[in-house]
Amino acid sequence: MTELLITGSNGQLGRALRDAAEKRGLATAGADVDTLDITAPADVERWIAEHSPRVLVNCAAYTAVDDCEANEIEATRVNGEAVGRLASLCTRHDTFFVHMSTDYVFDGTADRPYLETDPTCPLGAYGRSKLVGEIEARRAHRHLIVRTAWLYGLGGTNFVEAIRSQLQRNSAHLRVVADQRGNPTYCGDLAETILDLVSNDVTGTIHAVNSGETNWHGFALEIVRQLGLDVEVEPVTTDAFPRPAPRPAYSVLDTRRLHSALGREMPSWQDALARYLEASCTG
């Protein structure tokens, strides 16, 4: 029996989860879009039957937020309908189903961090498709829906690398959005937290992000500071960078349930960033 099965295993979170699980000695297997189409029912059924996993973590997703606006049907097939089939198969095989979701299920109009029980109201196609996924995930007899936000990790494209790339091109002046607020979250920390939640048999819906909050401008300032550079970072509004998909202005997630479940919060986002920068420079 495979203890942990991972969809989207080549993504930033999938890689981190696979590495964390293997360090714990868990028998782990994974698949990504090049080896498994999660929208193909027969293929998914064969894959799960072959491995008979104790836990399946669904990290696969249509994550191109702006592209989702023009391709909502496809996004919903991947982020919603396929999740329902995974959930049903997990029930059939007595597998604990863990599904990854997002702060984009909220509209960003709150004036305090979002609780798991707060009403959802996504602004765009990506958030709507992920909300369908949450609804479908609840079809699994044993399930955990993990909402997270502002992810970055090793082996992929993310905000930290986008900023570092600009700095490596000797950019002396950066312009970064300052009117969107959230929780930067390191995939390495999130992976460890997911495994801890599973080992403690936590079910339902839970928010898991690095502790503390900031805006994209504050995040960029900290990246520059930790890299030891002297670069001007100008705060601008979202309107300065028009995008097809709307972004929630405030999507800070409340993690009191996480603390109650594990007796701890995830490390601060500043500490997580420092460890990521070290790992990404030496890895």
Beta-strand runs (E) in the chain: 4-7, 28-31, 55-58, 96-102, 143-148, 151-152, 173-177, 181-182, 185-186, 204-207, 210-211, 214-215, 232-236, 266-268
What pLDDT score was predicted for residue 110?
97
Mean pLDDT over each residue of the chain, to the nearest integer: 96
Cβ atoms within 10 Å of 270's Cβ, excluding its own: 17
Element (H, E) at 149: none
pLDDT tens digits for 210-239? 999 999 999 999 999 999 999 999 999 999
- Burial of 232 from C-beta contacts in 10 A (0-12 / 13-18 / 19+): exposed
Mind listing the pLDDT tens digit for each residue in 151-178? 999 998 999 999 999 999 878 899 999 9
pLDDT of residue 1: 74
For position 273, what pLDDT does the model report? 98
Show the domains of the chain with their CATH numbers: 4-158+184-211+254-263 (3.40.50.720)
Per residue in 140-149, is it b (16+ CB within 10 Å) or e — as a string? beebbbbbbb
pLDDT(20) > 70: yes
Assess whether 126 carries a catalytic annotation: yes
d(CA 165, CA 179): 23
What DSSP string describes 17-43?
HHHHHHHTT--EEEE-TTT--TT-HHH
Mean pLDDT of 79-108: 98
Provide the residue count of the chain.
283
- Non-local (6+) Cβ contacts of 228 within 8 A are none
Residue with tokens 């039957």: 49
Q: For position 172, what pLDDT does the model report?
A: 83
* CA-derived radius of gyration, the chain: 18
Q: pLDDT tens-digit profile of 117-141? A: 999 999 999 999 999 999 999 999 9
pLDDT the model gives residue 171:
80
**Chain segment 43-87, per-residue pLDDT in tens:** 999 999 999 999 999 999 999 999 999 999 999 999 999 999 999
Distance of alpha carbon 128 from alpha carbon 72, whole angstroms:
9
Give the C-alpha separation, 261 to 168, whole Å.
Answer: 41
Dihedrals phi, psi of 280, to nearest 5 degrees = -75, -20
Instruction: Inform me whether the pLDDT recorded for 283 exceeds 60.
Output: no
Nearest CA among 137, 129, 74 for reference residue 104: 129
User: What per-residue confidence (pLDDT) applies to 282?
Assistant: 60
Which one of the listed residues 62, 114, 126, 250 is annotated catalytic? 126
CA 266 to CA 269: how far, in whole Å? 9
- pLDDT 10s digits, 262-281: 999 999 999 999 999 999 98
Model confidence at 96, pLDDT cuts 50, 70, 90, reads very high
| Under 8 Å between Cβ of 97 and 145 | no
Is this model's pTM higher than 0.85 or not?
Answer: yes
